[in-house]
């Protein structure tokens, strides 16, 4: 587990390195509204040399940027996610970022998927990102 203090957008590079060094391809992003989940995905996509416009997939459930898959379960249940066949998406090569994915953790464990969880906490004008293997 590592804690990374993020004071500006450039500091997200440290969190990006945490993801890349973890060798995990499924990443659960946990944090309140406005904590920076989508902003982190935007910076990760940029770091991979992809110029796509990144937006929250709140209503679409999934956005794809090259080999980066971005999910949002804010408006969906885990049952909806599974019923839509989204678990099978995790077999695709690339990174899979799941916003609001805390409820899916038990299914990931049950089906043998390894994942990295990143908790984002607001602390005055900064954010604390905690990478939990």
Average pLDDT, the chain: 93
Among 35-39, 40-44, 83-87, name the one with the lowest average pLDDT.
Answer: 83-87
Cα–Cα distance for residue pair 37/31, rounded to 1 Å? 7
Cα–Cα distance for residue pair 82/107, rounded to 1 Å? 9
Per-residue pLDDT, averaged over 105-130, amounts to 93
Per-residue pLDDT, averaged over 33-43, amounts to 94
Cα–Cα distance for residue pair 52/42, rounded to 1 Å? 9
- State the greatest distance between any 2 C-alpha atoms of the chain, in Å, as a whole number: 39
Cα–Cα distance for residue pair 90/96, rounded to 1 Å? 7
The torsion region of residue 5 among left (phi > 0), alpha (psi -120 to 50) and beta comes to beta
Strands (E), 13-125: 26-30, 62-65, 68-72, 95-99, 116-123
Could you tell me the pTM of the whole model? 0.94
Per-residue pLDDT, averaged over 66-91, amounts to 90
- Residue 13's CB: how many other CB atoms inside 10 A? 14
Q: 130: burial class by Cβ within 10 Å (0-12, 13-18, 19+)?
A: middle
Residue 30, strand partner residues:
119
| Per-residue pLDDT reduced to its tens digit, 44-70 | 999 999 999 999 887 788 999 999 999
């Amino acid at each position: 587990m590592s804690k990374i203090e993020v004071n500006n957008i450039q500091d997200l590079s440290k969190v990006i390195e945490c993801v890349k060094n973890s060798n995990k391809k499924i990443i659960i992003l946990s944090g309140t509204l406005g904590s920076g989940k989508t902003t982190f995905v935007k910076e990760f996509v940029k770091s991979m040399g992809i110029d796509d416009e990144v937006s929250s997939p709140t209503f679409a459930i999934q956005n794809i940027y090259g080999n980066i898959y971005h999910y949002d379960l804010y408006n969906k249940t885990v049952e909806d996610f599974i019923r839509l066949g989204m678990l099978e998406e995790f077999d695709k090569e690339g990174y899979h970022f799941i916003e609001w994915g805390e409820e899916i953790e038990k299914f990931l464990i049950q089906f043998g998927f390894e994942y990295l969880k990143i908790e984002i906490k607001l602390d005055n004008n900064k954010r604390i990102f905690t990478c939990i293997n």
